[in-house]
Structure 1
Amino acid sequence: MIEESQVAKLGDALYEAMVSGRPTTKISEIAPESTITDAYNIQSRMLARRIAAGDEIVGRKIGLTSRAIQDALGVYQPDFGQLTRQMLYQNGDAIDMGALMQPRAEAELAFVLKHDLRGPGVTVTDVIRATDYVTPCFEIVDTRFSDWKIRIQDTVADNASCGVFLLGEGRADPRDIDLSLAGLVIEKNGALHSTGVGAAVQGSPANAVAWLANTLGALGITLKAGEVILSGAQAPLIEVVDGDELVATIAGVGTCTARFKGRAQV
């Protein structure tokens, strides 16, 4: 564990990096002894700075759902970050690359809640009952560090490497489809880029949401009605540059279109 004063200093540094577009030093380099708990405390400090500046929490994201990424970071459970209103884009919007540093896109399923979810003890059935609808989305992951060669402390502290997110136009009742079998097709600039399936996310995206509800519940935090929950990537990360267009289609749910303009800051 690291000192509270250092947690505040590192959280402030991440916030300043986000605002300025200048990378900060990795947590794993400054404080290699830091724990995952320390990293979440740093994340909280960074988000507190965002909220104090006028932003607000609108949901959560789940990351590290891929076994390959878990193996690379040496951690064998997902992580989570916070979604804020200023991160939100709508279907078809042009994402401003100038507000990001080292962006990459990933397609996934977003859950929008109609009832609160509070763990522990939340099951997949509880998740389905509490969900208003699901929709395709793109999360644009980003890092406020010098490169993507990061450790678990780094990504957790950096709000689970979340940049912005974009919600699709299709909506579906999760009771009407098998979320684990619903196929994903991603097109980049009009050509097939990659495919995926819901089962790639902890066996089902609903499993990931249940994990989040139970993990946060143990911390006294409730997932609230109206919040958006990004359940985790169903396909590999996608490099994006100015002028790119991505379209994600999830069978039985709908599509999500993201366009990119400008140059990233780094």
Structure 2
Amino acid sequence: MPQNHPPVGDDSIAAAAARLREAAATATPVSPVRDLIGRDDVKAAYAVQQRLTTERIASGATVTGRKIGLTSAAVQRQLGVDQPDFGVLFDDMAYADGSVVPIDAVLQPRIEAEIAFVLGADLTEGPLDAAQVRAAITHAVAAIEICGSRVADWDISFGDTVADNASAGAYALGTRQVPLAGFDPVAAEMTMTVDGETVSTGTGAACLGDPVDAVVWLARQARELGEPLRAGQVVLSGALGPMRPVTPGCVVHATVSGLGTVSVAFSTDSASASA
């Protein structure tokens, strides 16, 4: 459970942001930032994330949505927290189904399979309850999230991963778009393979009991922090099974029942490629 802390100063927040910025700029993981902002200070961690987000937008990046993390009770227990977290998705993180992703596009890449939702309405007013969120979702798609950590060896606490944009790296969406009227996220079954070998399985119920409930949580948190969810944005709702590492040259294939498939491959070298 998060503990009470003395307020983290602006200098510490700036120093944490600088450390993570350097990791991204040099493609070299750095030491955790919890020595600067604490292990579980939610406010300080999101302040670091927001600082880095503002910088990316100023440099020309466009926000395409959000990702939700820590939706598994087991992972929450591991990190000693009682809530999910979220990060920001940018246009340069998006890859088409079937893309080859440069192996160095994401630091220390690990993969998850999940359900993504695309919004057709802003979530700025009202109760932001399940009924409102469901009405705002135009469709669901199968998704692969490529998580990455700027923190060396994935040595993360809650504060580290939140500050590091919830360990967001890249993502790919499937091409089959299914309205919620024809799809039950809770009952969805997921299988993810790497080079044909099954490495992760799970169901929609693994994501906070219902992936739509994860979006409800996110909508409320995003509005509270002053950056509400908007029409057209993508929401990666959280992993349906364990996260797995990837290596150069591997091919990842995920199937979500009712939504079809999505796949990516990873290059064997560091040649650049466009999303």
Fold match (TM-score > 0.5): yes
Pairwise CA RMSD:
1.6
* Alignment length (residue pairs): 264
2:84 aligns with one of 78, 81, 88 = 78
Residue in 2 that maps onto 1:216: 222
Aligned to 2:199: 193
The answer to whether 1:176 aligns with 2:190 is no
TM-score computed with the length of structure 1 as normaliser: 0.94
Distance 1:104 1:69 in 2: 15
Tell whether 2:38 aligns with 1:15.
no
Contact 1:100 1:163 in 2 (8 A): yes
Whether the aligned pair in 2 keeps the contact of 1:119 and 1:216 (CA below 8 Å) is: no
Counterpart secondary structure, 1:98: coil
Aligned twin of 2:255: 249
- Distance in 2 between the 1:27 and 1:178 partners? 39
- Judge conservation of contact 2:64–2:233 (CA < 8 Å) in 1: yes
Q: Contact 2:188 / 2:203 at 8 angstroms: preserved in 1?
A: yes
Contact (CA 8 Å) 1:243, 1:261: kept in 2 or not? yes
State the partner residue of 1:151.
Answer: 157
**What is aligned with 1:229?**
235
TM-aligned CA deviation for residue 194 of structure 1: 2.7
Could you tell me how far 1:193 is from its partner in structure 2?
A: 2.8
AA partner of residue 88 (structure 2) = Q
- 2:97 matched to 1:91? yes
Three-state SS of the structure 2 residue aligned to 1:8 is helix
Structure 2 letter corresponding to 1:123? D
How far apart are the structure 2 equivalents of 1:119 and 1:220? 12
Residues 119 and 215, structure 1, Cα contact 8 Å, conserved in 2: no
User: Quick one: percent identity of the two aligned structures?
Assistant: 39
Once the two structures are TM-superposed, the CA of residue 118 in structure 1 deviates from its matched residue by 2.5
Report if the CA contact (8 A) 2:37-2:159 is conserved: no
Gapped runs of 5+ residues in structure 1? none
Hey, what's the Cα distance between the residues in 1 that align with 2:126 and 2:112?
29
Alignment of 1:52-63 (within 5 A): 52-63=58-69
Preserved contact between residue 40 and residue 157 of structure 2 (Cα < 8 Å): no
Opposite residue 54 of structure 1, the aligned amino acid is G
Partner of residue 170 from structure 2, selected from 161, 164, 167: 164
Given the two structures, how large is their TM-score scaled by the length of structure 2? 0.91
1:120, distance to aligned residue in structure 2 (A): 6.3
1:106 paired residue number: 112
- Superposed displacement of residue 58, structure 1: 0.9
SS in 1 for 2:47: helix
Deviation (angstroms), 1:199: 0.5
Quote the offset at 1:226 in angstroms: 0.2
Q: How has the CA–CA distance of structure 1 residues 259 and 72 changed in structure 2, closer, same or farther, with 3 Å as cutoff?
A: same
Deviation string, structure 1 residues 79-114 (Cα, Å, up to 9, x no partner): 010000011111001111112221100000110111
AA partner of residue 167 (structure 1): L
